[in-house]
Structure 1
Amino acid sequence: MNAEKRRELARDRTDLAEDRTILVHERSFAGWVRTGMAAVGIGLGFNALFRALEPAWVPKAIASAFLLVAIYIFLSADRRARRILTRLDEHSVIALKPMRIRLLSWLLSLATLALIVAIWLLTGNQSG
């Protein structure tokens, strides 16, 4: 095999490795989003199950803590994924665009923030 053919095969292997790395980081982002959604679920579940605790602000505060952790997870996943994906070039795969990652992360964060507000405003009439 001549040197030019070996260089071409090496470039192909490098390109494929970079594509695999892009896909791995997209899966990592999805994993962090799932973790954030689990924190949202725990927060809402805690608030629903322990609403009768006294004083009334205790379950709200604990639920809010989980929801704030979820926001932190969403925004951290956004920052990490975009930083990594902007350094890589796609070759044979269609990568998730950094703007879509940012949009998803911010929408989830805003929705979670709305849940925090709802917990404090809407359940305030029922619990205390």
Structure 2
Amino acid sequence: MGSSDRRELAEDRTDWAERRTDWAEDRTIMANERTFAGWMRTGLAAAGIGLGFHALFGKLEPAWFPKALASGFVVIAIVIFLAAQAKAVAVARRLEDHRSEPMRGLTLRLVAGGMIAASTGLGAAIWMMP
């Protein structure tokens, strides 16, 4: 095998190694987005549990007790949304994308902010109900 053949083989290996690295980074970006979506679902479930708890046990006495428990779940949902957004943005900042286009930090903040606003409204509505 001549030196030009070895050089060509080395270049081919380098190209394949770079492609595998790019694909791994793309998979990491997509995994980060799936994880963010999973945390959003978990937060929505916590808010739903709070709403369901209030609907089922809203007539308990004293009246503040079911509202406080339901509000606890809403607060948990808000904390989950904040944590998911912060973590997803931090991971997205560290990654250099090659083929996949990661969700931008602003998009992650808007999704999480919408969930937080809706959960805050839900919590307020629970307390306004007679």
Answer yes or no: same fold by TM over 0.5: yes
1:11 is aligned, of 6, 10, 18, to 18
Equivalent position of 1:101 in the other structure: 108
CA-to-aligned-CA distance 1:63-121 (integer Å, 9 cap, x gap):
00000000000000000000001111221222211110011101110111111111112
Q: 1:60 aligns with which of 56, 62, 67?
A: 67
1:52, CA displacement in angstroms? 0.9
Q: Does 1:90 align with 2:97?
A: yes
For 1:46, the equivalent position in structure 2 comes to 53
Is the radius of gyration larger for structure 1 or structure 2? 2
Give the deviation of 1:38 after TM superposition: 0.2
Residue of 76, 81, 100 corresponding to 1:74: 81
**Alpha-carbon distance in 2 for matches of 1:40, 1:74:** 11
Q: 2:127 matched to 1:120? A: yes
Could you list the runs of 5+ residues in structure 1 that have no partner in the other structure?
none
Q: Distance in 1 between matches of 2:125 and 2:87?
A: 29
TM-score of the aligned structures, taking structure 1 as reference length? 0.93
In 2, Cα distance between equivalents of 1:74 and 1:99: 14
Give the C-alpha shift of residue 5 in structure 1. Answer: 1.4
Matches within 5 A, 1:18-29: 18-29=25-36
TM-score (norm 2): 0.91
In structure 1, what is the Cα distance between the partners aligned to 2:72 and 2:22? 43
Whichever residue aligns with residue 121 of structure 2, its letter is A
- Structure 1 stretches of 4+ with a deviation exceeding 6 A read none
2:5 aligns with none
Count of residue correspondences: 123
Letter in 2 for 1:46: F
Query: Taking every aligned residue pair, what percent have the same amino acid on both sides?
Result: 50
